Structure 1
Amino acid sequence: MSGKKGMKKYPLWIREEVVSRIQAGESQCALSREYKISRWAIHCWLKEPVFPKARGRKPAKTLAEYKYENKRLKMENGLLRDFLRSTERK
C-alpha cells in the first residue's frame, strides 16, 4: 500500500527487520513506537510478502517470430501504399 499519495515508503530492510522481529515474538505496538511506523503499516506488511513484486520480462522472441512480424508489416505497408495510390493521395 505504500507509495500512494501521502503515504511514506519505507526501505525494504526496515520492513524485513520489523516483520522478522514480530515473528520472533515482539509486539507490534512496541516496534511501532521504536521505528515511528504506524501499526496499520506493520499490519499490512504482515499480510503481504516482504519482497517487492518483480517486474516480469517478456520472453525473448525467436528469429522465426521476427521474420513473421517483418513479413506481416511489409504486407501491411504494401496494402496501405496501394490504397493511397488508388485514392490518388501520395
Structure 2
Amino acid sequence: MSKRSYTHVEEHLPENKAMVTAGKTQWEIAEHFGFKDKYVIKRVLKRERTKQCKLKAGITPRPKGRPRKESAPRDIIAEQAYKIGC
C-alpha cells in the first residue's frame, strides 16, 4: 500500500492537536495517518495557528476567492496591525 500525500487533513485537526499535546512529533503523526512526509501535518498546524492569531487580532475569517459585489468592507486597520504585530 503506497502512502498518501494528501487527504482531507482538516477533518483530522482535533486528533492532530491532541497528538501534539501528547508529545508526538509531526513525523510520528504523519506516519499514523499514512502520509508521505511530515510537511502535510506541519502545514495544517501552521494554517490553524495563523487562523487563531488572526482571530485574536480581531480579523474575521473570509472565504477565499473574489469577493461579492455587496460584501462588507474589510477592517484594514486590524489587518495592518496584524501584519506588524504577528
TM range (shorter): 0.3 to 0.5
TM-score under structure 2 length normalisation: 0.42
Greater gyration radius: 1
TM-score under structure 1 length normalisation: 0.41
* Larger RCO (alpha carbons 8 Å, 6+ apart): 2
